[in-house]
Amino acid sequence: MDNKSILKQLKLTAALMELHDENSFKIRGYQSAIYNLDKADIELGGMSLDELQGLDGVGKGIAGTINEIIQTGTSDQLSKYLEETPEGIIELLDIKGIGPKKIKVLWKELGIESGHELKEAANTGKVAQLKGFGEKTQDTIIKALEFKEANANKLHYAEAEGLTKEVIESLNTLLGDSLIHEIGALRRRIEVIEKIEILIGSDNFDQAEEKINASPDFAQDDVNSGPVVWRGLYKESLVPLELNFAEKSNFINHLFIRSGSPGHLGTPVKEKENFRDIALSGPFKEEKDIYMVAGMDYIEPELREGTFEFEAAKNNALPKLVEMSDLKGILHNHSTYSDGKHSLEQMAQHCKDLGYEYLGICDHSKSAFYANGLDEDRVIQQHAEIDELNKKLAPFKIFKGIESDILYDGKLDYDDEVLSSFDFIVSSVHSILNMNRAKATSRLLAAVENPYTTILGHPTGRLLLRREGYPIDHRAVIDHCARHNVVIEINANPWRLDLDWRWVHYAIEQGVKLSINPDAHEMAGYDHMYYGLLAGRKGGLTAEMTFNALGVEEIGNYFRERKEKIASHA
């Protein structure tokens, strides 16, 4: 059993302990153990009971529970809590804005045992009448429930991509020589996927459907399926699966039509024809041929959103999209100095092993007490270690960065003397997120004006499928970054992908560079660079406008010259 599965059970156990009024000391022990284990670079599944007991913050009781989970897949303690707790209550534990203690009040005093019942009680004002709740908490609950309902059975692109590959492999095994390709939002690399769409090229639809239905992996929804479309589910996934059939001779036509957005397909091309009309006009061997008939350059699938791509293709001005090989370094990463899982040296060595030229370390700043943020003394300590590692790892370079919290008034949380000791600074909002558009925007504008801000981190603070970002005036923020020569981050974590790709093209038009940053808290987090790259490409990002496409010498000179300019104006 992997660490993620074990920790998931421990977190649920701790939440249910709190729900059932267990001893607070015992609950804190679980929470402390979970925090330490989440950061630890160990594989729990391969450890003995004695080894588990020797881990930091893990006592005899918790070690026994972990060992039980490893051996049997669960624990008696968790099973007991689950038997005593309605299933709907457990689902409520995922609702943002209410913890186990409040859920218990709702359960015991209002008899609420599901999200539906909670929403009904909140909408009728009953929740606000409870002691310790009030109108504000009630509104928070309503918004959280609505957000959860709207995003039910959806996947981050990263998860959907993996699931789609598995489905296609299964279909290839079942259908032999059929042509199979993902289509729709998946092919356009949309950040959140509502359904898995696949096109199947076959000359015998009925036979293909029979083979699919004979597999235990596929469950058809007979009511909503049709002659040329199969709808249903795949294995345990609740994400809708849609299989579209087309004859092999027309496969490319359908691949094109079922990949582009309505805005792209409906674009008038010549006379009274649009892209859809041209695609239906005859069989094509390649999608490039469709664009050739339209009299324009080939448009990559991720750009087919009906925004800027049509005019660019018509005028031979499509951008050469950034590729992984263009990225020379990885900025905005965390180590065990704050809330990372791996040491600074491990993070640096792995970055070097991946072929990058430099690493930007950006542990949390002192205001981020919840993430073990660095006070001034620990900043000095980290900088000394970076100097030693740079001698050891040369020509690879570690740049001294920090993820500085943007405080409520827009200031950064170190004085200028400390800020000037860093090579670069990623400025980000992490606290007090319930802002209106005016406040959120003014807070970011103030941070951008700070001469030490090099990169604006995850501009809206969103967590896809978990919470909406705070509302900002994107144009005002991007324009301000252009004015103050501040780079904007595309946070590559699949939960964030922030800056949203829909604003990438506007940023480029204003001359603002984008930095694809993984916000990695462990070595495996570097893999997220791929998803940030996809988000940038959707917005038309080129290597020239990608900040971390600069080589180690170029970006080092940039940091140095920027600091010299600040010093000259001090």
Residue 59 confidence (pLDDT): 84
What CA–CA distance (Å, rounded) separates 183 from 257? 9
| Coil, strand or helix at 354 | coil
Average pLDDT over the chain, rounded to an integer: 95
| CATH of 324-568 given 3.20.20.140, 3.90.1150.10, 3.30.70.890, 3.40.50.2300 | 3.20.20.140
| 243 alpha carbon, distance to own chain's centre | 27
Residue, of 558 and 4, whose pLDDT is higher: 558
Q: Look at residues 301, 304, 299 and name the one whose alpha carbon lies nearest to residue 319.
A: 299
Length of the chain (residues): 570
Is a pLDDT exceeding 90 seen at residue 36?
no
Q: Where are the domains of the chain?
A: 3-150, 155-314, 324-568
Instruction: Extract the tokens encoding 182.
Output: 């993902």
Q: Look at residues 17, 16, 194, 35 and name the one whose alpha carbon lies nearest to residue 91.
A: 16
Is a pLDDT exceeding 90 seen at residue 317?
yes
| 87 alpha carbon, distance to own chain's centre | 28
Give residue-wise pLDDT tens across range 326-368: 999 999 999 999 999 999 999 999 999 999 999 999 999 999 9
The answer to whether residues 201 and 178 touch, using CB atoms and an 8 Å cutoff, is: yes
| Coil, strand or helix at 119 | helix
Residue 319 confidence (pLDDT): 96
What CA–CA distance (Å, rounded) separates 461 from 497? 10
Q: To which CATH superfamily is domain 155-314 assigned? A: Beta Polymerase, domain 2 (3.30.460.10)
Give residue-wise pLDDT tens across range 160-194: 999 999 999 999 999 998 999 999 999 999 999 99
Tell me which H or E stretch contains 536.
Answer: helix 529-538
- Amino acid 89 reads I
What CA–CA distance (Å, rounded) separates 330 from 358? 7
∠ CA 47-48-52, nearest 5°, is 75
Instruction: Extract the tokens encoding 414.
Output: 């170190």
The answer to whether residues 562 and 556 touch, using CB atoms and an 8 Å cutoff, is: no
What residue has token string 């917005």? Answer: 539
| 259 alpha carbon, distance to own chain's centre | 23
Give residue-wise pLDDT tens across range 103-118: 999 999 999 999 989 9
The answer to whether residues 169 and 241 touch, using CB atoms and an 8 Å cutoff, is: no
| 509 alpha carbon, distance to own chain's centre | 25
What one-character DSSP code corresponds to residue 157? H
Q: How distant, in Å, are the alpha carbons of 2, 167, 372 from that of 5?
A: 6, 23, 25
Helix/strand/coil (H/E/C) assignment for every residue in 302-350: HHCCCCCHHHHHHCCCCCCECCHHHCCEEEEECCCCCCCCCCHHHHHHH
What CA–CA distance (Å, rounded) separates 187 from 191? 11
What CA–CA distance (Å, rounded) separates 46 from 102? 37
- Amino acid 423 reads D
Long-range contacts of residues 176-183, Cβ cutoff 8 Å, at least 24 apart: 178/202, 178/208, 179/248, 179/251, 181/255, 183/244, 183/255, 183/258, 183/259
Residue 41 confidence (pLDDT): 81
Cis peptide before 283 (omega within 30 of 0): no
By the 10 Å C-beta count (0-12 exposed, 13-18 middle, 19+ buried), 205 is classed as: middle
The answer to whether residues 361 and 386 touch, using CB atoms and an 8 Å cutoff, is: yes
What CA–CA distance (Å, rounded) separates 284 from 250? 7
The answer to whether residues 291 and 298 touch, using CB atoms and an 8 Å cutoff, is: yes
Give residue-wise pLDDT tens across range 431-470: 999 899 999 999 999 999 999 999 999 999 999 998 899 9
What phi and psi values does residue 139 have, to the nearest 5 degrees? -65, -40
Lowest model confidence (mean pLDDT) among 121-135, 351-365, 547-561: 121-135
What CA–CA distance (Å, rounded) separates 87 from 76? 17
Q: Do domains 155-314 and 324-568 have the same CATH topology?
A: no
pTM for this predicted structure = 0.89
Helix/strand/coil (H/E/C) assignment for every residue in 9-26: HHHHHHHHHHHCCCCHHH
3-150 is classed in which CATH architecture? Orthogonal Bundle (1.10)
Instruction: Extract the tokens encoding 127.
Output: 């929740």
Give the burial string for 13-45 (b: 16+ CB within 10 Å, else e): bbbbbbbeebeeeebebbbbbbeebbbbeeebe
Q: Is 125 left (phi over 0), alpha (psi -120 to 50) or beta?
A: left
What CA–CA distance (Å, rounded) separates 421 from 563? 9
How many C-alpha atoms does 27 have within 13 Å on its Cβ side?
Answer: 14
What CA–CA distance (Å, rounded) separates 469 from 478? 16
Lowest model confidence (mean pLDDT) among 45-49, 255-259, 532-536: 45-49
Q: Averaged over 227-253, what is the pLDDT?
A: 96
Q: Look at residues 471, 479, 523 and name the one whose alpha carbon lies nearest to residue 500.
A: 471
The percent of the chain in helix, strand and coil, each rounded to the nearest 5, is: 50, 15, 35
